[in-house]
C-alpha cells in the first residue's frame, strides 16, 4: 500500500471572499484594522460582527458614519442539506443597507446568495462564497478593491426595487450610486462624531 493510500484526505472548508471598497479609502484609514490577503478561520457557531466598535466587532470599519455594529454574518444549514449557508442581518438602528436588490432595515435579515453586493453608506462589499465540506469551520479572506465594485454584479431583474440612493443606468443592468456626504451617525450620549 502506498503512502498516498494511507494519507488522510483533508476536508475542504467553505471560503468567503469579500472585496471591500469605500469612496474615502485613499484619504482615511477606513480598513486599517483588516488584514487583507490573509485567510482567517472561524468556527461555524461564531457570529461575525462588522462595525466601527473594535471591542465588539470582529471586522472593524473605521468610518464615523458606520454604526458601532453595522451587520452580522452567521453560518447555518438548511434542513436536509450539508451546504453551509450564511445569513446577513442589519443590526444598525439608523443605517439601512442593500444586499443585492433588497433593502434591509433594522433587524431585517436574509440568506446571502453565492455572489452579491452589500452596500451601506459609502461602503461596497462584493461577497462571494465557495462551498466546502466542513461543518465545523469556515474561512474569510478580504481584498481591497481599487475602484467601486458595484459594476461587478449584474442586477437579478429589472423589476426589482431600486434602493433609495441608487439610479438604474439606462440601457444597463447596473445601479449607479451617486457620491454624496451622509450625515454622521449620532448616538444618544454623543453630540457628533468628527469627520
Whether 36 and 25 have beta carbons less than 8 Å apart is answered as no
pTM of the model as a whole: 0.74
Longest dimension (CA), the chain: 72
List of residues 6+ apart from 31 with CB closer than 8 A:
20, 22, 25, 61, 62, 142, 144
Output the pLDDT for position 156: 47
- The set of cell numbers assigned to 75 is 453560518
Exposed, middle or buried, 4 (CB in 10 Å: 0-12/13-18/19+)? exposed
Per-residue confidence band for 10, with pLDDT thresholds at 50, 70 and 90: confident
Output the pLDDT for position 101: 87
Pairing of strands 137-144, 14-22: parallel
Looking at residue 36, the DSSP 8-state letter turns out to be B
Per-residue confidence band for 96, with pLDDT thresholds at 50, 70 and 90: very high
For residues 164 and 121, the model is more confident at 121
**Whole-number mean pLDDT of the chain?**
80
Amino acid at each position: 500500500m502506498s503512502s498516498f493510500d494511507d494519507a488522510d484526505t483533508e476536508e475542504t472548508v467553505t471560503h468567503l471572499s469579500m472585496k471591500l471598497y469605500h469612496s474615502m479609502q485613499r484619504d482615511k484609514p477606513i480598513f486599517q484594522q483588516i488584514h487583507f490577503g490573509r485567510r482567517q478561520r472561524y468556527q461555524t457557531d461564531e457570529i461575525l460582527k462588522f462595525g466601527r466598535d473594535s471591542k465588539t466587532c470582529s471586522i472593524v470599519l473605521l468610518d464615523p458614519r458606520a454604526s458601532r455594529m453595522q451587520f452580522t454574518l452567521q453560518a447555518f444549514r438548511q434542513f436536509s442539506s450539508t451546504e453551509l449557508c450564511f445569513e446577513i442581518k442589519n443590526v444598525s438602528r439608523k443605517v439601512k443597507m442593500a444586499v443585492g436588490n433588497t433593502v434591509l432595515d433594522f433587524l431585517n435579515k436574509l440568506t446571502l446568495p453565492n455572489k452579491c453586493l452589500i452596500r451601506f453608506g459609502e461602503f461596497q462589499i462584493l461577497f462571494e462564497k465557495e462551498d466546502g465540506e466542513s461543518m465545523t469551520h469556515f474561512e474569510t479572506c478580504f481584498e481591497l478593491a481599487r475602484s467601486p465594485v458595484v459594476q461587478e454584479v449584474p442586477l437579478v431583474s429589472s423589476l426589482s426595487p431600486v434602493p433609495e440612493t441608487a439610479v438604474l443606468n439606462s440601457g444597463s443592468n447596473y445601479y449607479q450610486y451617486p457620491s454624496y456626504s451622509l450625515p454622521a451617525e449620532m448616538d444618544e450620549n454623543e453630540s457628533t462624531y468628527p469627520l
